[in-house]
Amino acid sequence: METNNYKLKQYPSLLKLILLSIVTLGIYGIVIYSRASEDINTIASRYDGKKTMHYCLLIFLIAPITLGIGALVWQHKISNRIGGELTRRNLGLEFSAKTFWLWGVLGSFIIVGPFIYTHKFLKSMNLLVDDFNTKGA
């Protein structure tokens, strides 16, 4: 196994993300999702040959032009990509676009769904970061 000199940072808990996003008027959430788009490219691009669009480009340019549809597509794709990498690394956590559509979108009808999706997203990214920092690419 090759080890990596460059270590990726852990992601915050859901509570910390919510509280700091409130205090910073949403900027902290943008920073975390931006980092996720960079980290998934660092972790997975070598194997799946894909590149996830940077979150800032999405939020400030693509999403407004597409009336939010671009953001849904981005979430769908990054969720599938994270799930694929979890499977490839045999980390035993199920996460996919299905998680996004069921918890993130349909779950909004029960109010807590998007929070559950975000918790699963952060947990998945933390598992990937731990594995990447331990075993390398």
Tell me the pLDDT tens digit for each residue of 81-95.
Answer: 999 999 999 999 999
* Residue listed under structure tokens 């940072």: 9
In this prediction the pTM is: 0.92
pLDDT digits (tens, 9 = 90+) for 1-60: 455 567 999 999 999 999 999 999 999 999 999 999 999 999 999 999 999 999 999 999
Q: Where are the domains of the chain?
A: 14-135
Looking at residue 10, its pLDDT comes to 97
Q: Exposed, middle or buried, 74 (CB in 10 Å: 0-12/13-18/19+)?
A: buried
Start-to-end CA distance of the chain, whole Å, equals 9
CA distance 45 to 50: 5
pLDDT digits (tens, 9 = 90+) for 90-132: 999 999 999 999 999 999 999 999 999 999 999 999 999 999 9
pLDDT at residue 80 is higher than 90: yes
